[in-house]
Structure 1
Amino acid sequence: MKSNNLLVISNDFPNADNKYVREIFVKEQIMFLKEYFENIYVVSPIAIGMEFLRKTHYENYRFENIHVYFPKYFNCPLFFKYCRDGWIYFEEKAIQKLIRAESLQFDLIHAHFTWHSGAVAVKVKEKYNVPLVITEHTSQTFTDAIEKKETQFIRSWNLCDAIIRVRKGDIPLFERVGIPLDKVYYIPNGYSHKSFLNLDSQNSRKQLGLPSNIKIILNVGNLYDEAKGHKYLIEAMNIVIKQRKDVLCFIVGGGILETKLKKQILSTGLEDYIKLVGSKPYTEIPLWMNACDVFVLPSLSEGNPTVMFECLGCGKPFVGTKVGGVPEIIVSDDYGLLSEPGDPNELAKNILSSLDTSWDTKKIKEYSIQFTWGVVGKKILKVYSKIGATSLRLCVD
């Protein structure tokens, strides 16, 4: 590689202070990768009007050798269903304008999510003739793309140089749409071991102002998508409190579902047992993880949830559902318990069981080491090397 610069294209990206944390795992990943490049350019195009809808503001920023850009572009909701080529056209136009204005030079592209970043990245690859890696993170979206043989997905996978899939069990599905498996790699998501480490539980509770004499159940996630299963967590808690009253469930995160969930909590009389505490700074999440007795993620669908790895990194048991890549990580009852999605009775049973279990924190923590960005990142670097990033080979061999 001549300049050894990486261009990252992502559907979303945190702002400078991490108060907006969508796709925080992409930022955490490049925090490891930055050591192997002169510069990393992150481009996350923002549709005009999206700042208003998300109630946030995007400004370009830089830290160390990472340059983050949020170019604005025109989009239309109808493009999602009726004219995806129009979506790609306007987004690619905004990226090309940015590349010219900033005189960006890069030798490798990594796109996160096939739609829509991967589809746009293919256009950029064609113009600049550089290798392209696409990481596919989604669950239901991916499955639908395979079953419906969606053109934008298949074209992107055919024209990129390598595909990273976060769920191992999905890899054979690529053959159904004619994608050779020798260009597909299984690499799970990871977590920052420097941020998510085992801390004293009582001290963490003290810093957060949480009670010390109860069992704390924790969920962390944005309240935008019903697929995250918050409804079933509330239903499960209604069952849990009939068995024991010394519990308190905290749901950390904000979004459009907050009002609906508040009504559900009130209608079931659980306001003393479930607290919606809103969004919290990302730097505060490790304290919440360490303050809890058990972490619960009741999702109806998932790719490879970052919070699962962060939970394990803090030595905490994970109670979740058998969706996406979760069963590939929680392979033993030593690390957590899994239930069928959408089943509050089984979820409640696992929550109660987890609260009665003496978990081996050290064993959970040791298991999590294989998912740190240091380990996962080196696997990504090897993929880069295989598709032409020759200057990286000495770093990862």
Structure 2
Amino acid sequence: MTSKNLLIISNDFPNADNKYVREIFVKEQVTVLKEHFENIYVVSPVAFGMELLRHTRHENYEFDNVHVYFPKYLNCPLFFKYGRDLWIHFEEKTIKKLIEDKNLHFDLIHAHFTWRAGTVAIKLKEKYDVPVVITEHTSRTFTHAVEKKESQFIRAWNLCDAIIRVRKGDISLFQNVGVPLNKVYYVPNGYSQKYFHALDSQSCRKKLGLPPDKKVILNVGSLYGEVKGHRYLIEAMSKITSKRKDIMCFIVGGGKLEKKLKKQVRSAGLEDCIKLVGSRPHTEIPLWMNACDVFVLPSLLESFGIVQIEAMSCGKPVVATYNGGSEEVLISENYGYLVEPANSKELAAKILVALDKEWDNEQIKKYAKNFKWDTVVGEILKVYKKVGV
């Protein structure tokens, strides 16, 4: 397969320095996939004006045999509701121009997310006559597309050559919209062993400036939507701190909800035991994972939840919710606990149990290895083979 070239289309992709980390899991997957291709071309279109909103610059770069492009295109927020076909037209036109200008030749297109990448990939398939694989990562968007029978999604799923879904429980739902199940494959997301592995907890705390004598609860995730359930973790902390005083909770991540969540913390009088530390460099996240005693994922919905695997790869137990993705990962109470979503009382109770339990950290790390990228990419390559590449 090393004589083949792969084109990857992703709605977002990290910059060269990983300071912009949206869809970092796609980059980590590419880092392993590159060993199996002569060239990988990653295209992540960026709408004009988006760099100002993101407070970053997206510049083309290369690493090894991977070539990353951020072509700029015209877009309007109203297109999402009133002009989706026009939105896809502009992206398709921009990517085609890039392909022609750079004289790119590829044998397969792998699109991450059906909207928009997969929809654009189907347009490119019509012109370049190569197979298309679509990985659907979303949770709420996917469910809505199936329930409402969204035409753009169904057309893309029917015209692509294979679909990868990161949540096993959703496979049968494709049949509800007329997509044959023999083209749908379950392949979970993965984690990078290069970054996420066990380190000395106290050394990590020292580097991060964390107290050595506290029990540390950690959450890592964007603060862009209520779906991540941060408010319930803060509510749970009110109950936890009424039981014991040696607890600190750190929430790592940035987004529009940060001010609202800080206000909730102040109103609850929890400033001393809950710290929102903002976005941190991706290379720093393993330190946080190793510094904690328990990782908490209070999401209302998740398609998979990579962060919980990253925590487990460091030997840390997880308390998560029945959110769609976590119950496919936390398959045993040897690795953590599951609670009902939006239930701060139950969340607090299980966190307290987790803090008191003697965990077999080696067993947790061993289980997490099932999701290392080398293993996951092996499954992706099997899908590529199924479509003739």
TM-score bracket, normalised by the shorter chain, equals: over 0.9
User: What is the distance in 2 between the residues matched to 1:57 and 1:258?
Assistant: 23
Aligned to 1:221: 221
Aligned to 2:364: 364
Q: CA RMSD in A?
A: 1.0
Question: What is the letter of the counterpart of residue 242 of structure 2?
Answer: K
Aligned to 1:76: 76
Deviations along 1:211-245, whole A, 9 cap, x unmatched?
A: 11000001111111111111111111111100111
Any conservation in 2 of the 1:9–1:43 contact (CA below 8 Å)? yes
Aligned to 2:245: 245
1:284 equivalenced with 2:284 (yes/no): yes
Deviations along 1:82-137, whole A, 9 cap, x unmatched?
A: 11101100011111111111111110000000011100111111110001100000
Any conservation in 2 of the 1:222–1:254 contact (CA below 8 Å)? yes
1:189 equivalenced with 2:189 (yes/no): yes
Any conservation in 2 of the 1:167–1:188 contact (CA below 8 Å)? yes
Identity of aligned residues (%): 68
Any conservation in 2 of the 1:166–1:189 contact (CA below 8 Å)? yes
Q: What aligned pairs does 1:260-271 form with structure 2 within 5 A after superposition?
A: 260-271=260-271
User: What is the distance in 2 between the residues matched to 1:124 and 1:94?
Assistant: 11
Any conservation in 1 of the 2:220–2:253 contact (CA below 8 Å)? yes
Aligned to 1:99: 99
Q: Following TM superposition, by how much is the alpha carbon of 1:46 offset from its aligned partner in structure 2, in angstroms? A: 0.7
Q: Following TM superposition, by how much is the alpha carbon of 1:307 offset from its aligned partner in structure 2, in angstroms? A: 0.6
User: What is the distance in 1 between the residues matched to 2:295 and 2:57?
Assistant: 31
User: What is the distance in 1 between the residues matched to 2:344 and 2:55?
Assistant: 32
Any conservation in 1 of the 2:2–2:36 contact (CA below 8 Å)? no
User: What is the distance in 2 between the residues matched to 1:76 and 1:268?
Assistant: 40
Aligned to 2:354: 354
Aligned to 2:178: 178
User: What is the distance in 1 between the residues matched to 2:326 and 2:129?
Assistant: 36
Structure 2: runs of 5 or more not aligned = none
How many pairs does the alignment contain?
Answer: 389
User: What is the distance in 2 between the residues matched to 1:289 and 1:374?
Assistant: 21
Question: What is the letter of the counterpart of residue 303 of structure 2?
Answer: G
Q: What aligned pairs does 1:374-389 form with structure 2 within 5 A after superposition?
A: 374-389=374-389
Aligned to 1:161: 161
Question: What is the letter of the counterpart of residue 74 of structure 1?
Answer: L
User: What is the distance in 2 between the residues matched to 1:252 and 1:202?
Assistant: 19
Aligned to 2:211: 211
User: What is the distance in 2 between the residues matched to 1:323 and 1:182?
Assistant: 26
Q: What aligned pairs does 1:16-31 form with structure 2 within 5 A after superposition?
A: 16-31=16-31
1:89 equivalenced with 2:89 (yes/no): yes
Question: What is the letter of the counterpart of residue 257 of structure 1?
Answer: L
User: What is the distance in 2 between the residues matched to 1:311 and 1:125?
Assistant: 38
Deviations along 1:227-272, whole A, 9 cap, x unmatched?
A: 1111111111111100111000011111111111111111110000
User: What is the distance in 2 between the residues matched to 1:2 and 1:261?
Assistant: 48
User: What is the distance in 2 between the residues matched to 1:258 and 1:377?
Assistant: 35
TM-score (norm 2): 0.99
Any conservation in 2 of the 1:299–1:321 contact (CA below 8 Å)? yes
Paired residue secondary structure (1:332): coil
Q: Following TM superposition, by how much is the alpha carbon of 1:9 offset from its aligned partner in structure 2, in angstroms? A: 0.3
Question: What is the letter of the counterpart of residue 19 of structure 1?
Answer: K
Any conservation in 2 of the 1:171–1:184 contact (CA below 8 Å)? yes
1:373 equivalenced with 2:387 (yes/no): no
User: What is the distance in 2 between the residues matched to 1:256 and 1:14?
Assistant: 20
Aligned to 1:136: 136
Paired residue secondary structure (1:77): coil
User: What is the distance in 1 between the residues matched to 2:222 and 2:142?
Assistant: 21
Question: What is the letter of the counterpart of residue 283 of structure 2?
Answer: T
Paired residue secondary structure (1:319): strand
Aligned to 1:329: 329
User: What is the distance in 2 between the residues matched to 1:57 and 1:342?
Assistant: 37
User: What is the distance in 2 between the residues matched to 1:17 and 1:134?
Assistant: 27
Aligned to 2:254: 254
User: What is the distance in 2 between the residues matched to 1:280 and 1:310?
Assistant: 15
Question: What is the letter of the counterpart of residue 330 of structure 2?
Answer: I
1:339 equivalenced with 2:339 (yes/no): yes
Aligned to 1:392: none
Aligned to 1:394: none
Change over 3 Å in CA distance of 1:70–1:303 after alignment to 2: same
Q: Following TM superposition, by how much is the alpha carbon of 1:6 offset from its aligned partner in structure 2, in angstroms? A: 0.4
Structure 1: runs of 5 or more not aligned = 390-397
Q: Following TM superposition, by how much is the alpha carbon of 1:203 offset from its aligned partner in structure 2, in angstroms? A: 1.1
Any conservation in 1 of the 2:5–2:39 contact (CA below 8 Å)? yes
1:232 equivalenced with 2:232 (yes/no): yes
Paired residue secondary structure (1:320): strand
User: What is the distance in 2 between the residues matched to 1:225 and 1:50?
Assistant: 19
Any conservation in 2 of the 1:3–1:107 contact (CA below 8 Å)? no
Any conservation in 2 of the 1:2–1:107 contact (CA below 8 Å)? no
Question: What is the letter of the counterpart of residue 223 of structure 2?
Answer: L
Q: Following TM superposition, by how much is the alpha carbon of 1:278 offset from its aligned partner in structure 2, in angstroms? A: 1.1
Question: What is the letter of the counterpart of residue 67 of structure 2?
Answer: H
Question: What is the letter of the counterpart of residue 166 of structure 1?
Answer: V
Aligned to 1:395: none
Change over 3 Å in CA distance of 1:2–1:210 after alignment to 2: closer
